[in-house]
Amino acid sequence: AANRRFHPQDTIVEVKGRKIGEGNFTVIAGPCSVESEEQIICVAQEIKKSGAQFLRGGAFKPRTSPYAFQGLEADGLKLLLEAKKVTGLPIVTEIMSQTHIDLFADVDIIQVGARNMQNFQLLKELGHSDKPILLKRGLANTIEEFLMSAEYIMAGGNNNIILCERGIRTFETATRNTPDLTAIPLIKRYSHLPVIFDPSHATGIPWLVEPLSKAAIAIGADGLMIEVHNNPKEALCDGAQSLNFEQFDQVMETIKNRADVE
Ligand code: PEP
Ligand code: MN
């Protein structure tokens, strides 16, 4: 169960020998979408140099418009595995359908995006796998609904869940979403699962990534997921919120002094 009452100890999700949760600070970084072999390998090498421990990149993209770039799909997964082979960084990528679970066999952490947080059939089937799951909070879901979605995965026997606060819809339009930082300590009190924060989708604004990352660390986040692109202006998805290599390196320098990132 996600509730701490039934599980007082913090859950530590172990991925490729690395422990996520309980005092270890984890940084996941990479582009919104995998775009080419050169792109994903280049981004992987750069974020590794700056100190990230996981490479992210979307292959199956949940785009608002059906005419927008939908991702490289299965080819994108192959390119992520290629980047993993070159850099040794484990990979995180989003799944959109339970029919793809076999295709994701070599993915280290399967992401369930905000738009699928209540895709209960997907959650149920992921519950029957033993893959670590990065579950993102829905665009307009309460903390209770978020934890119930984690419960769906755990009900099937999979306790390897990392929760990700990525901002919620409010009346405010100055930022893409409104970061709900309160959710971080609140969820850590109610639940034993590790909680990370995604300042890129939460704000939509590159220069806000650093201050919000500091804030998330100060209130106990177990890690961050940050969008980084080789050329944000030309990115096929979420370029406007992506950091370039220099900006990401700067954020990592700043947070290294605050969080326990080696
Ligand atoms: C993403 O991580 O690129 C993404 C689509 O995020 P979210 O599901 O939080 O919108
Ligand atoms: Mn994105």
- Domains along the sequence of the chain with CATH: 4-23+90-191+205-219 (3.20.20.70)
Please work out whether the CB of residue 192 comes within 6 Å of at least one atom of ligand 1.
no
Please work out whether the CB of residue 136 comes within 6 Å of at least one atom of ligand 1.
yes
pLDDT of residue 136: 99
pLDDT one-digit tens code per residue, 191-244: 999 999 999 999 999 999 999 999 999 999 999 999 999 999 999 999 999 999
Reduced 3-state DSSP string for 104-153: HCCCCEEEECHHHCCCHHHHHHHHCCCCCEEEECCCCCCHHHHHHHHHHH
Q: Which ligand sits closest to the CA of 166?
A: 1
- What is the value of ipTM here, to two decimals? 0.99
Mutate to test the pocket of ligand 1, among 94, 95, 209, 241 (most ligand atoms within 8 A of CB): 94
Please work out whether the CB of residue 57 comes within 6 Å of at least one atom of ligand 1.
no
What is the residue type of 54?
F
Residue in 253, 250, 226 with CA at minimum distance from that of residue 31: 226
Atom in ligand 1 nearest the alpha carbon of residue 116: 8
Give the span between the Cα atoms of 36 and 33, in whole angstroms.
Answer: 9
